Amino acid sequence: MLGQNYFNTRSKLGSAVYALCKLGEQCGVNPARLSVLQNLMASLKDPFLFVVVGEVNAGKSTMLNALFGSDFCSSGVLPTTDRINVFKHGKEAHEFEVSDTLMEIYRPDEFLKDFNIVDTPGTNSIESGHQRITEQFLPMADLVLFVFSVTNPWGASAWDLLDRIHHQWKKKIVFVLQQCDLRTDEEVTAILDHLRKTAAHRFGQYFPTFAISARQAFLAKTSGLQNEDFWRQSRFATIEQFISDVVESSEVRLTKLINAWRGACYVLGEIKDKLATASEIIRADNELLSGLEHAAQYQEKRTQGKFEPLFEAFDKSYMAAGLQAEPLLESRFRLLSSLMPPARTVAEMEGLIVATTMKAVRRNIADAAAAVEDDVNMLWERIAEEMQEHFNLQLSVGETGLPDWSAARQKIASDVENRTQEGLKHLRLVEDIGGALARRTRWLWGCLATAAISGLIGGVLAYFQVAPAQFVLLGISVLAILLLAIIGTRSITRIRRQFTDRLEARRENLQLAQREAFREGVSDFYRQFVQMFEPLRAVCQEHREKYEPQLNSIASLEKTLTELELILRPVEHALNERMRQHSAAAGAANVAAAPPKA
């Protein structure tokens, strides 16, 4: 695409200006200022005007078709352009006859949005009306393409018109030697050299001169066959690049582009000023909420960490309760107690452990929950002070100005108590220790009964001197007594160890349950603390929903205008330097032309 860099920059700036105007309307920017900005941008959309002149059958129309890759301009072996044709963009193809010598032709080709093309009759057939209208277009042209046919580049009418164009309007003129495929390379080179010398002789300067075959270039762009060969042979790339550079270096349009960009920057600055308060509100909101949540998380972590001694106290109270229950267990190992049913004693042991442990837990957890409440109240007071100092926002709840945390405090205590009680239910002393004691009692009774019966029968037999049965039974009695002693002694060791193992087995699980209950209670406490700020969070959310889209638009526009600055700043410096050089040259010429002083 011709002038692609320029049009890309213009498009990017146009999108930014459109968004700026929409945002400016929302923010209450002066409509007159927005109108000026829109006008600056609209002036950039004025199409480039290319005027093509030359003698009849010089190949002007073919060259235009090749330049834009579209068969929008009629061409043929006969002089078909008998009037001035001005090609413009239209949604539908149609023609409008302005006069007998001027026709406006509208086509839906996209390139016509940026380029208006004036295709003139041959200079050797221009009538007076033609010439008058041609001379009306030439002063407005951004570029005049003067087309010579390689078969006859010496027509006097073309050079006469060229003389008026150059001296009267000082237009940028390009020589195009067309149909060069009809001559050899040596002939084309000779003709080009002659054109340059003739121009230098008549006008005192050289014009950009290109030898091309528009027919081959058009085929390369449209036929789909042998594209590379046609394109190379057409020599069209150099003139296309030159014209593209002309489009991208237009001082008038680049100056308009820079002015529009500067106007956009000014309007963006005004919008930023108007939304400065909103930006500060969003910043303060984010700072407030992030600071609040960070402070709550930090304080919760500290609160959780400072209560390690609490769990150690819980553990000690549990193990102390086990020690207090041991005398009850020991009482079961006495001779008479060993023969009694153990259920009541074991139930008393378990009840003692539960009661002692729960008493210690209730006493300590109440103090711990109160300490957690103190931590939360301290955090509340600190945040209230910071909000007052930095945001002029006063926090106050209830008569005292502090929230009522009694429910949260009580929940911590009750949760830890409930988890402890639930954990103690799994001691299973009645099932395990009670069962072991019951089995021991049965064994002891069995051994004692065996010894008594055997001894009694053995005594009777001894009285009647029944031998040796009396000795056997007396031996059995003695063995039963020995077994009674062994079972009694060994079962004591085993049951003691079983009791200790049961206490130890529940110890770790009980600690985990207590810690988890306390940790969850503290976390819930701080969650309630953060939830108290939900109304404030809702207000902050409203601020974001209201202002963030505008602030995001500002950030996006600022990025776009900064990217455009990287493109346009060097262009602006180059234009200023060119203007300075022209001024210096003009000053030097005036000094040289001034008469000498007497």
Give the pLDDT score at 423. Answer: 85
Q: CB–CB of 251/575 below 8 Å?
A: yes
Q: Average of pLDDT values for 216-238? A: 83
- Nearest CA to 355 among 300, 452, 421? 421
Round to whole Å and give the CA distance between 457 and 463.
10
Give the pLDDT score at 336. Answer: 63
Structural domains in the chain plus CATH codes: 48-234 (3.40.50.300), 285-532 (no CATH)
User: Which residue's structure tokens are 């108290």?
Assistant: 532
Backbone angles phi, psi at 155, to 5 degrees: -60, 130
Q: CB–CB of 9/257 below 8 Å?
A: yes
How many CB atoms neighbour CB 457 within 10 A?
18
Per-residue pLDDT tens over the stretch 66-91: 888 888 876 543 344 567 889 999 98
C-alpha distances (whole Å) from 211 to each of 179, 182, 185, 280 are 8, 11, 10, 64
To the nearest 10 degrees (0 to 180), the angle between helices 236-248 and 214-222 is 80
On the question of pLDDT at 488 being above 60, the answer is yes
Q: What is the secondary structure of 391-431 as a DSSP string?
A: H------TTTSS---HHHHHHHHHHHHHHHHHHHGGG-HHH
**Banded pLDDT at 581 (limits 50, 70, 90):** confident
Cis peptide, bond prior to residue 341, ω within 30 of zero: no
Give the pLDDT score at 129. Answer: 60
- Both tokens assigned to 439: 């089995």
* Cα 512-518-523 angle, rounded to 5 deg: 120
Report the run of H or E that residue 148 belongs to, with start and end: strand 143-149
Round to whole Å and give the CA distance between 459 and 471.
9
Three-state secondary structure call for residue 147: strand
Q: Average of pLDDT values for 584-593? A: 64
Q: Average of pLDDT values for 333-347? A: 68
- What average pLDDT does the chain have? 81
Give the pLDDT score at 566. Answer: 92
On the question of pLDDT at 596 being above 60, the answer is no
Three-state secondary structure call for residue 187: helix
On the question of pLDDT at 569 being above 50, the answer is yes
Give the pLDDT score at 238. Answer: 92
- Both tokens assigned to 272: 């930023």
Q: CB–CB of 506/427 below 8 Å?
A: yes
Q: Strand pairing of 115-119 and 94-99?
A: unpaired
- Both tokens assigned to 241: 């690049």
**Banded pLDDT at 486 (limits 50, 70, 90):** confident
Round to whole Å and give the CA distance between 423 and 417.
10
Q: CB–CB of 523/300 below 8 Å?
A: yes
**Residue partners of 59: CB distance under 8 A and separation at least 6:** 75, 147, 149, 178, 179, 214, 215
Q: What is the secondary structure of 455-470 as a DSSP string?
A: HHHHHHHHHTT-TTHH
Give the pLDDT score at 78. Answer: 36
- Both tokens assigned to 380: 């509340």
Round to whole Å and give the CA distance between 214 and 196.
21
Q: Average of pLDDT values for 222-228? A: 72
Q: Looking at this protein, which amino acid is placed at residue 156?
A: A
Per-residue pLDDT tens over the stretch 544-563: 777 778 888 888 999 999 99
On the question of pLDDT at 478 being above 90, the answer is no
Beta bridge partners of 117: 50, 87
User: Which residue's structure tokens are 């090609």?
Assistant: 87
- Both tokens assigned to 347: 């139930």
Per-residue pLDDT tens over the stretch 294-337: 888 888 888 888 888 888 888 888 888 888 888 877 776 665 66
pTM: predicted TM-score of the whole model, two decimal places: 0.59
Three-state secondary structure call for residue 206: coil
User: Which residue's structure tokens are 């957890």?
Assistant: 365
- Nearest CA to 131 among 84, 174, 187? 84
Three-state secondary structure call for residue 582: helix
Q: CB–CB of 339/437 below 8 Å?
A: no
Q: Greater confidence, 158 or 409?
A: 409
C-alpha distances (whole Å) from 208 to each of 14, 27, 172, 363 are 33, 51, 9, 102
Q: Average of pLDDT values for 285-295? A: 73
Three-state secondary structure call for residue 257: helix
Round to whole Å and give the CA distance between 184 and 182.
7
**Banded pLDDT at 392 (limits 50, 70, 90):** low
